[in-house]
Amino acid sequence: MRRVFLVVLLAGAIYYTYVAFNDLNFLTRTGRPGPGFFPRLIGVSAILITLWTLVEELRKSEDQRERTNPQAWKDVVVLMALAVSYAVLLRLFGGFIATVIFLGVTLMILNRSQPMKNLALAILIPGGVYLLFDRVLNANLPPALFELPI
Amino acid sequence: MDIFADLMMGLSVAISPINLLYLLIGAFVGMIVGVIPGFGPSAGLAILLPVTFGMDPIGAIMMLAAIYYGAMYGGTITSILLNTPGESATVASTFDGFPLAKNGRAGPALVMQAGASFVGGTVGVILITILAPLFAQVSRSFGPPEYFLLAMMGMLTLLVMIGSNWKLGVISALIGFALGTVGVDLETGQSRYTFGSAELIGGIYFIPIAIGLFGLGELFYAFYNGLHKTGTGGIVQYDKEERFWPTAQDWISTRMTMVRCSILGFVVGVIPGAGATIASLMAYSTERSVSKNSENFGKGEMAGLVAPETANNAASSGAMIPLLTLGIPGSASTAVLLAAFLLWGLRPGPLFMEQNPELAWGLIASMYLGNMVLLVISIFAIPLFVQMIKVPYRVLGPSVVVVCALGTFSVHASFVETYLMFAAGIVGFFMRLYGFSPAALVLALVLGPLAEEALRQTMTISRGSFGIFIERTPSLTIICVTVALLVLLPLLNRFGNTNAGEAEKAGS
């Protein structure tokens, strides 16, 4: 997986450098360093060092490569998926309702043995957060695209 | 006398009831951030930065600073009672802290760590009071070449301290620099990497990235490591011990350790990139080398706990010097603090203390008060923090996701930034997993625009010649200091890690 990550980074570095050389000027008309000056230095350096790291990674023997732990991956992927769903819910139902749904579902998955406690937390935490952000700090909470009838 | 008068003026600012309240909240929250394993001060600061937006700038900066140095106090409680450091700067505190607790001396260990942290933090603030004006005086002769070199020094020393994974650190820093170039180029007005998006014209905002990398990224990584499955069954029951308070012998035997490690920690803290973790490991190793009881290190020696605790708190104070006087953060935490200053329209640097005396001296004065508050909290609120340690990570984790998301949204009411934060969280997880450095990325994201501006100004002044860096005396001095640090720091790092590793083995 580290190899895949490095390949993605390399692709990003190549694209970044391509834009730096194609769209951004190295010098201004008056001969001063232009908007492409720094990006070109960064892009070329990023390509070289990522390539170097990738080649080293490819040369590693089977024993030296990282071992994956399927159970550890499962838990973290579940949490990531729930977090991404929460981002979508925030847009749809706004800060308070999305948080209640997210906490309710997440706690039911992660903390199955205490359903009543989960339910209480799924209501109390969003309530506390609402009071803190909306009432005390007068800060913005995400508005709902669709209002739920509650 | 000027310093004394300035400090008194700062004290008058800091002791207003509302600022004292902010300080108290900051110290308390800092302790909580420190207590939670997997979350360091940078995560705490990034997550809570949006909460300060409705506040007065002085109170907000005082509160954030208190979170920063308060985390150093809190991190040790879990090191002692659970053998799990609350954050990286308290790793060295487990070597003797946990053996002390196992030997039935958890109470004295907790009190001594609070005392040591107080001494380290207070000596650090005294040194800031004396040295910050001098640093500001010296740095007034600095121009764009020096600022560029200072930014590079901060990055290079951080990368050197990463050690064998330095290439991954460089890649992380380059990602940060690249993200820093997004937006309109202020000199020519040309858009860079905005792809027609109006949201990106102002650049990639620092807060979503920092919250994503340090908040969500660390949380995902903690889940990957199974922290949500582990309970707190191994927690030492300190309240069942006969004696809670340390003996006079504990204080007497460690008094010189506190003095030595305060100064050592402060000096290491001033060096950009070194930070509290290195300071604590070095202090532990140094103390072990000079101690008459070196064979007891790793088995429950009080000096082995006091040394890293004093050093990491002094280092967190020391790191404020380059931040306040040069505007250069030396670590991820101080980078978040710098971002907070910038958000309030304040630009730390040589003229900062002169132009913003109330804020600068108010902040310094608040650190004296903050350390006193933390001393009291960290002794008398231990039962409360023990209860917090018992909150399972699987319950805490989802709440952290909520605070990260709503905190990010509250800054600019932007869904794009909220999504960016989630993306940064996932990227941050992979970075941690594969040995990259989120801290280097964040530092580069903050320093990148400053470095670019300074480099372009330098090239304009010198008409494209890099010779300017060796022609100017301040630049040449900074280059020499950087080279010396690049040679010295890996050696010190190795010295610290080797001795600490031996102690860890001895204790296990």
Test B395 with A43 for CB contact under 8 angstroms: no
What is the band of A148 on the pLDDT scale with cuts at 50, 70, 90?
low
Which amino acid makes up residue B469? F
Test B418 with A34 for CB contact under 8 angstroms: no
Q: Are the C-beta atoms of residues B3 and B130 closer than 8 Å to each other? A: yes
Tokens 């692709």 -> residue: A11
| Calpha distance B34→A77 (Å, rounded) | 26
> Which of A112-126, B42-56, B283-297 is predicted with the least confidence, judged by mean pLDDT?
B42-56
Tokens 């609350």 -> residue: B86
Q: Are the C-beta atoms of residues A76 and B220 closer than 8 Å to each other? A: yes
Bridge-based pairing of strands B183-184 and B191-192 is: antiparallel
| Calpha distance B212→B430 (Å, rounded) | 12
Tokens 């004396």 -> residue: B130
Q: Are the C-beta atoms of residues B371 and B121 closer than 8 Å to each other? A: yes
What does the pLDDT look like over B434-451, one tens digit per residue? 989 888 898 889 888 888
CA distances from B276 to A143, B120, B497 (A): 41, 11, 14
What is the band of B35 on the pLDDT scale with cuts at 50, 70, 90?
confident
Which residues fall within 8 angstroms of residue B252, CB to CB, at 6 or more apart?
none
Q: What is the pLDDT of residue B235?
A: 66
Task: Name residue B192's beta-bridge partners.
Answer: B183
Q: What number of residues does chain B have?
A: 508
- Average per-residue pLDDT in chain B? 86
What is the band of B362 on the pLDDT scale with cuts at 50, 70, 90?
very high
Query: For an interface test with B, which of A37, A55, A66, A110 has the most B Cβ atoms less than 10 Å from its Cβ?
Result: A110
User: Which DSSP helix (H) or strand (E) runs through B192?
Assistant: strand B191-192
Calculate the CA B166 to chain-centre distance. 20
Q: What is the pLDDT of residue B508?
A: 43
Test A111 with B168 for CB contact under 8 angstroms: no
Give the sign of the dihedral formed by CA B450, CA B451, CA B455, CA B456. negative
Residue B5: how many other CB atoms lie within 10 Å: 10
pLDDT (average), residues A49-65: 84
CA distances from B268 to B93, B284, B322, B480 (A): 17, 13, 12, 17
Q: What is the pLDDT of residue A65?
A: 62
End-to-end C-alpha distance for chain A, whole angstroms: 45
3-state secondary structure of A60: coil
Q: What is the pLDDT of residue B391?
A: 80
Test B187 with A43 for CB contact under 8 angstroms: no
Instruction: Return the ∠ at Cα B264 (arms to B262 and B268), rounded to 5°.
Output: 115
Q: What is the pLDDT of residue B402?
A: 92
Q: Regarding predicted confidence, which is higher, B92 or A46?
A: A46
**DSSP tag of B195:** T
Q: Which parts of B344-437 fold into alpha helices (H)?
A: 352-355, 357-380, 382-389, 393-412, 415-433
**B191 φ, ψ (degrees, to nearest 5):** -80, 140
Tokens of B182: 């997004």
Which amino acid makes up residue B334? T
Query: For an interface test with A, which of B410, B418, B445 has the most A Cβ atoms less than 10 Å from its Cβ?
Result: B410
Tokens of A140: 């913005």
Task: Name residue B183's beta-bridge partners.
Answer: B192
Residues of A in contact with B220 (CB under 8 A): 76, 79-80
| Calpha distance B147→B322 (Å, rounded) | 12
Residue B152: how many other CB atoms lie within 10 Å: 19
The alpha carbon of residue A109 is apart from the nearest alpha carbon of chain B, in Å, by 10
What does the pLDDT look like over B385-436, one tens digit per residue? 888 877 888 888 899 899 889 988 888 888 988 999 999 999 999 999 998 9
Q: Which parts of chain A fold into alpha helices (H)?
A: 2-22, 37-59, 70-110, 115-130
Task: Name residue B184's beta-bridge partners.
Answer: B191
**pLDDT over 70 percentage in chain B:** 93
Query: For an interface test with B, which of A44, A140, A141, A145 has the most B Cβ atoms less than 10 Å from its Cβ?
Result: A140
Q: What is the pLDDT of residue B450?
A: 86
- Residue B383, pLDDT above cutoff 90: no
Phi-psi domain of B226 (left: phi exceeds 0; alpha: psi -120 through 50; beta: other):
left
Test B220 with A79 for CB contact under 8 angstroms: yes
Q: CA nearest B428: which of B179, B145, B75?
A: B179
What is the band of A41 on the pLDDT scale with cuts at 50, 70, 90?
very high
What does the pLDDT look like over B257-278, one tens digit per residue? 999 999 999 998 888 776 788 8
Residues of B in contact with A33 (CB under 8 A): 455-456, 459-460, 464
Tokens of B489: 């720091």
- Residue B501, pLDDT above cutoff 60: no
What does the pLDDT look like over B227-250, one tens digit per residue? 777 655 566 677 777 778 889 999
Which residues fall within 8 angstroms of residue B412, CB to CB, at 6 or more apart?
B205
User: Which DSSP helix (H) or strand (E) runs through B136?
Assistant: helix B106-139
A10, closest residue in chain B (CA to CA): B171
Q: Closest to A16 (Cβ–Cβ): which among B178, B190, B426?
A: B178
What is the band of B37 on the pLDDT scale with cuts at 50, 70, 90?
confident
**DSSP tag of B239:** G
Residues of A in contact with B430 (CB under 8 A): 5
**DSSP tag of B88:** G
**B192 φ, ψ (degrees, to nearest 5):** -125, 125
Q: What is the pLDDT of residue A69?
A: 72
> Which of A31-35, B84-88, B283-287 is predicted with the least confidence, judged by mean pLDDT?
B84-88
Q: Closest to B174 (Cβ–Cβ): which among A19, A46, A106?
A: A46
Which residues fall within 8 angstroms of residue B230, CB to CB, at 6 or more apart?
B393
What does the pLDDT look like over B480-494, one tens digit per residue? 988 988 888 777 766
| Calpha distance B330→B315 (Å, rounded) | 11
> Which of B28-32, B131-135, B162-166 is predicted with the least confidence, judged by mean pLDDT?
B162-166
Test A16 with B418 for CB contact under 8 angstroms: no
User: Which DSSP helix (H) or strand (E) runs through B414?
Assistant: none
Q: Closest to B422 (Cβ–Cβ): which among A42, A87, A137?
A: A87
Tokens 């260990």 -> residue: B109
- Residue B88, pLDDT above cutoff 80: no
Calculate the CA B301 to chain-centre distance. 27
**DSSP tag of B246:** P
| Calpha distance B501→B277 (Å, rounded) | 14
Test A137 with B53 for CB contact under 8 angstroms: yes
CA distances from B220 to B314, B401, B431, B434 (A): 31, 10, 11, 13
Instruction: Return the ∠ at Cα B250 (arms to B244 and B256), rounded to 5°.
Output: 145
Q: Closest to B406 (Cβ–Cβ): which among A38, A129, A138?
A: A129
| Calpha distance B364→B443 (Å, rounded) | 23
- Residue B355, pLDDT above cutoff 70: yes
Residues of B in contact with A87 (CB under 8 A): 405, 418-419, 422
